Structure 1
Amino acid sequence: MNHSSKLFTSMLLMPLAAFSAMAAELGDWPQFRGPNSDGHVKNVASPLEWSDSKSVAWKIAIPGLGWSSPALANGKVFLTTAVPNDGGLSLRALALDAKTGKIVWEREVRAIAKAPKIHSKNSHASPTPVVRDGSVFVHFGALGMASLAAADGSIQWTNFELDYPPVHGSGGSPVFHDGKLVIVCDGSTKPFVAAVDAKTGKVAWKQLRSVVGKINHSFVTPTVAVIDGKAQVMAPGPDHFAAYDLETGTELWRVKAPGWSVVPQPTIGHGLVIYNHDYDSPELLAVKLGGKGDVTESNIVWRLKQGAPSSPSPLLIGDELYFVSDKGIASCVNAKTGERYWMERLSSDSNYSASPIFVNGRVLFLAENGLATWVQVGQKFAVLGKNSVPGRTLATPAFSEGAMYLRTDEHLYKFVK
């Protein structure tokens, strides 16, 4: 990365960095994909080898099912889960002691009389919690959200008014910035993006999508970028990508590209936002940040179809972008130009949903069948090791103080060196 690119990127993300740096220094992993939502582990090295019986500090059964990733802060691990109950659901948040794995508290946020239908790969507790300022913010998509005290799980507020008709369930995690929790609510009709006041739980704004697609649902986790001193919400959706003013919810600019069921979180770097715009025919687009109105013709820098991910989020390391398709094809490309350095198959017998992580100077790719593959960072492909655990693994792992926290469909593991 040249000096000007470094300067631009640092200026762009400077207002986001204070909380992220503090969280990383404390060893916290307070949200989806880490302190800066970029999939980077910045503190001490984590284990390179593990199994069901190797490097295990503890392993605990988690009631129900949830694909939310663990979030960590102040010595606790936070999760959500949905526990079946007589045809209905108990939507719950849990806190575990990070040292021992013992449950510190378990709190029901909402009881649902009849469980809604979802996709077989989804769960009713897929969005990852956010931990900030002594509160844990949990989100269950159209089934509601809540703030709980991190210390004892007492409920501080609930919000069940952001209802929408999801298809296959919900999946996108909330993003915290400037006192607001931003969520994408793309259902089958009237899709919208909303911000909730983190202190009160009241809706700060709700913005209907300006483009209505033939199919409208998506499961995306948004990203916040600061452009010309203004925080903007980056939110791909049906047949378009839109950037919204974080303060007011006003749509500022958009890029049109056909697609639906968008999942990966957008990646920010080098003055670009890089995102996927379609599930069935995934394609990565790199778009110059900023502008006004429709910038489709002016701001697209590159686009790439072959090997693009439908579910896992791309990972930016310096000038290189790493990603894996749902069918297990991993790639490394130049983030500025889209030039491909390599494309290789990681696994032939499992799909991929978890997002890759940069840790121990390597890239970690996790398949849905528990297979984890270490890949060398750089423009030449090399596998540096493989590990496996039993069970299904769709949640992105979390890291804190040299440990990895890995969730399966039945258990949560803590692995240490």
Structure 2
Amino acid sequence: ENLLILTMDGVDVQYLVALDKETGRTVWKTDRTADWDDLDADGKPKNEGDLRKAYSTPLLVTAGGETGPPSPNSAMGNPTQMLSVGAKAVYGYDPASGRELWKVRTPAFSGAASPVYGRGIAYMVTGFGKTELLAVRVDGRGDVTDTHVAWRTGSLVPQTPSPLVVGELFFMINDTGTVTCLEAASGTQVWRERLRGNFAASLLHAEGHLYCFSREGVTTVLKAARDYEVLATNRLDGGFMASPAVAGKALFLRTREHLYRIESSL
């Protein structure tokens, strides 16, 4: 699709819009449908509208399949979906038309972590206020709050770093450094360990390794497996806030002061 999709979750407006990438023309615009229930006695949003904000980047998935670029239909006959975390709800949309497919109501706001997806389940962190991880089956339609949440947990869930699904395992690190491995299908805890430092950057998985980047500048490399194992630790000056990027065999890291490209010479 020739679309640039933007999420506008601010104090005054809350909507998604798709623009034609070549012309800038608005192709569709969809308002968020959350029940805000946040007006004060004067009819103005409480907390200066902060309870309506969200910052999460959406994710395109093929329902019943894997993360990827848009396709007309998956093997199951379901259209590509766009997963999006808003304030007071998380959503699934049709990215071609902007139609809301489903939503799960939440009390949270200012969600920053991006959704992840695997085997028909969207894993979505709600945000601040009541921070929860929701595992939502994406084959529902309408308000699926009471019908399609496969499991949920509020135990040591991140508010900022995005989680990961690796095969049958789900990994997350919260803002204060607790790493948790869960069974992706059930939410059952496999292991949980504490790393030193504080975290904002999202987890990275590459070649069986799990990379954790702290605000203090320490990278901890774990084995992405059922057994907890630290493989390496490294330090860079400046500390990490931004999430890493990978291109080929190169790892791109941005600290508060520098941009690094790290690549093996072997």
**TM-score, structure 1 normalization:** 0.55
Kindly report the root-mean-square deviation, in angstroms, between the aligned alpha carbons of the 2 structures.
1.4
Q: Paired residue for 2:223?
A: 376
Q: Paired residue for 1:205?
A: 28
Q: Paired residue for 1:411?
A: 258
1:290 Cα deviation (Å)? 2.0
- CA contact under 8 A between 1:193 and 1:208: conserved in structure 2? yes
* CA displacement, residues 102-155 of structure 1 (integer Å, 9 cap, x when unaligned): xxxxxxxxxxxxxxxxxxxxxxxxxxxxxxxxxxxxxxxxxxxxxxxxxxxxxx
- CA contact under 8 A between 1:357 and 1:364: conserved in structure 2? yes
Q: Structure 2 CA distance, aligned partners of 1:404 and 1:278? A: 28
Q: Paired residue for 2:130?
A: 281
Q: Paired residue for 1:226?
A: 62
* CA displacement, residues 37-88 of structure 1 (integer Å, 9 cap, x when unaligned): xxxxxxxxxxxxxxxxxxxxxxxxxxxxxxxxxxxxxxxxxxxxxxxxxxxx
Aligned residue for 1:298, secondary structure, equals coil
Higher relative contact order (CA 8 A, sep 6+): 1
1:364 to 198, 211, 214: 211
Q: Paired residue for 1:29?
A: none
- CA contact under 8 A between 2:92 and 2:138: conserved in structure 1? no
- CA contact under 8 A between 1:307 and 1:343: conserved in structure 2? no
- CA contact under 8 A between 1:212 and 1:238: conserved in structure 2? no
1:309 Cα deviation (Å)? 1.0
Q: Paired residue for 2:174?
A: 325
* CA displacement, residues 389-415 of structure 1 (integer Å, 9 cap, x when unaligned): 010311111122322111112211111
- Relative to structure 2, which stretch is displaced further, 192-201 or 303-312? 192-201
Aligned residue for 2:146, secondary structure, equals helix
Q: How many residues align?
A: 238
- CA contact under 8 A between 1:182 and 1:222: conserved in structure 2? no
Q: Paired residue for 1:393?
A: 240
Gaps of 5+ in 2: 39-50, 64-76
AA at the equivalent of 2:221:
W
* CA displacement, residues 159-197 of structure 1 (integer Å, 9 cap, x when unaligned): xxxxxxxxxxxxxxxxxxx22122211001231112122
Aligned residue for 2:52, secondary structure, equals coil
Gaps of 5+ in 1: 1-177
Q: Structure 2 CA distance, aligned partners of 1:236 and 1:302? A: 17
Where in structure 2 are the equivalents of 1:176-255 lying within 5 Å? Answer: 178-213=1-36, 214=38, 215-227=51-63, 228-255=77-104
Task: Looking at secondary structure, tell me which structure has more helix per residue.
Answer: 1
- CA contact under 8 A between 2:254 and 2:260: conserved in structure 1? yes
- CA contact under 8 A between 2:113 and 2:127: conserved in structure 1? no
1:320 Cα deviation (Å)? 0.1
Where in structure 2 are the equivalents of 1:15-414 lying within 5 Å? Answer: 178-213=1-36, 214=38, 215-227=51-63, 228-347=77-196, 350-414=197-261
**TM-score, structure 2 normalization:** 0.85
